Structure 1
Amino acid sequence: MMSIEPDTLAGLLTQTVKEMADSLPAPIGLDSNGNAIAAVPDDVFLRAIRMMNRSLGTTCGFFSTIDDDSHQLKVSLGLSDKFDSTDQIVHLSSRIASAQGPLAISDVNLRQSDEGAGHADQAGILGIAIHGPRGDVLGTLCALHTQPQRWSVEDHEALQDIAASLDTEIRLRSAAAYSARMEALANVAEDRFRLALRAGQIGTYDFDPQTHTTRWDDKLYEIWGVSKDSSDLFEVIESTIHPEDKPLWEADVAASLDPAGSGLHELEMRILRPDTGEERWLHAIGQASFVDGKPVRLIGVVRDVTLRKFAQNRDLLLSTELNHRVKNMFTVISGLISLTERASETTSDMAEALRGRVNALAVAHALIQPAVSRDVNRHNALTLQNLTQTLLAPHRQNVDAVICDGPNVPLSTQGAANLALVIHEMATNAAKYGALSHRAGTLTVSWDLEEKDSQPHLKLKWVEKGGPLVTAAAAGKGFGSRLIEMTIKGQMRGSIDVDWQSFGLVYTMAIPTVALI
């Protein structure tokens, strides 16, 4: 099924109607050359010549056509070699076509040269112009007597009657040919129009405002989720439109049926499909028609635009999320700069510490981004396992140096950003002063979910071993330790316990899951 962009509904229908209009034939009775003669077979003209000969007592006759002021002999009977050339016929036809009514010539020389011409070469001519559906001259019908002839009034009238009959037959045959062409074009246009509707997943409707009866095509039944057995479609519409959107629908329909307005009906609304109860967004476009100031018809199309509305809502959510995250990031970085400055002795120390902390935020951002953007190609659920493995990967001196173990705990964007800073600070301290500063040192990070104070909490344990011998707790707290404590206690409303064991440092944290998920 070809895909059509939702916003191109009006354009799709406009283009289809334009193509239908462009394919219409020339005005009635005209073929592609502007000539109705093509719609009439030769035997029609031969029959007219025979009727003319019987009525006038002649034995010869012809019909010539006019196309762009050029005369051509089309059909003849009994002429044989009466004329030296067709030039004489063309000349006679031109005179007849210019005449008002029948043109009679009592004696005309059948030979081009008067030299050698005798009485047997003289003939009488009676001709009349034949007209097309638009009144223009299509050709001439001529009777030829084999000797000079004085044509009577009855001869003139008989030829006029035959010409009138031929004019009528040409009009009827032209109209029939035109109708057949129009029907064929209408069928092609209808097929093309239905194809466009199918491709755009569009249904059509026809509403009678006087009787409140509605007719739908098969596609609209499918879109609306309504059985074709439904007896009152108008009632179905009223009962399935979302309660919040029903006033908008009622106002729009009322405005479209107002003779003082444009008659246009267009809105987007939600429905609750009666077959599944599912909420769907529909885009309806219609046009009302009026007779004597009363609305008599409202026809239009309906398209399901649910996917487009979901995409729009997602884009709005992403925009809001991006704005929120950028503001938060600036706030966090601003605080990091201030605190790092106070804790650093030199600018190089400050730059190194600040660079590591900002990088930790960048890593968290990279992990979070697919989840936020709903990138189904890249998004794996963001979990605590993902985050710890990624942040601690640079500190793996060997396969067993860092062990992460715990259930999959999903993380929100803010929860991941907070934990990223905490894990980065603890890993940095471990790499500088703790277990990860020795080749034989190991770090084990484990976690589980448990109840605390009647609320679910994440219990995370950070155990360092094999590092420098720990003889006593460090005096005072550095910036990293203060940042860890502020984040766990202040941002995440959790608790943290630091235990200086002889084999290494042990952190035990309890964080409400509501701050993580």
Structure 2
Amino acid sequence: MHGLQASPSPARVAAKLPYRVPMSMPSPSEPSYEARLEAVLESVSDAFYALDSDWRFVVFNRAAEEYFGVAREAILGRDLWEVFPQGLGTPFEASCRAAMRDGTPASFETSSRLRPDRVVELRIVPMRGGGVALTLTDITERKTADARQRLLANELNHRVKNSLATVQAIAAQSLRSPDVSPEARERFMARLIALARANDVLVAETWTGASLASVAAEMANPHGDDERFTIAGPEIHLAPQTATAMALGLHELATNAAKYGALSTPDGRVSLTWTLEGAAEARRLKLIWRETGGPPVGSPGQAGFGSRLIERGLASELQANVRLVYAPGGVVFSLTAPLSESVTEG
């Protein structure tokens, strides 16, 4: 095209790219290196273009032609800011100049200024010897799918909360009988609230599960500030059903501690810690709840629903060995469970 400067060969551009490309000579029967490089650039679905140190286009692949709606013959050799003046004074310009001047790479998501209905991810990296290479990925469909998933998760959360509120209202009416003690009514309502809190944690992770730390923090929240609890351990991810069982089990422990144990006195403390032990198939989660500083504790004469929920519910859901000890110095609960699809590391 008239007035456009000739562009460097793909091999000369490759020598500047921020990654190493093998430069061995092909045999006569093999495609030339330039042909192979051009084939790679033409095959990728992301728009790719490169600029020399004078901001001139030196590479513009097929995907870039399709995205921007312009042939490379009309672009190669031209100045970026002449072709794309909309980019001046934007974060895009600042990132390009930082990459060109300081060798600082950048990656960010932004609305396309040429196509405002599209969202793109831009990656800008410096090339050895000067210039920058840019990759543009259209992520509009992915962002739309993410938004739809969040909408569905929020709708699910809304419906679950409505269901729990309905159950709570029915229970409140049904449990007003004089045959039902106020304590039993209070415990039942508290368990419904604990179930709702577990639901909130799952919604925050779009129902993919929840971290053990977030479940523990949500459980501790109604019972005072961080000074009352020590919560620590490596990153553990729980499947949704397992997270719910863990939340209900920890709620029972915290409720008992608030009424009869360490959290019933100003100086009482709870330590909830977990570790990972073993390797490969023998890798296991070991969790310990330990109360200190509370009143002397004795074993209850008969195991109630809360104790059964702690011991049997968690043991069944996590395939765990559990132990609940009413030691004089404070309740100690321990759980050892194998890692599985429901309990994963990281």
TM-score, normalised via structure 1 length: 0.34
Structure number with greater Rg is 1
TM-score, normalised via structure 2 length: 0.49
Which structure's relative contact order is higher, taking Cα pairs within 8 Å and 6+ residues apart? 2
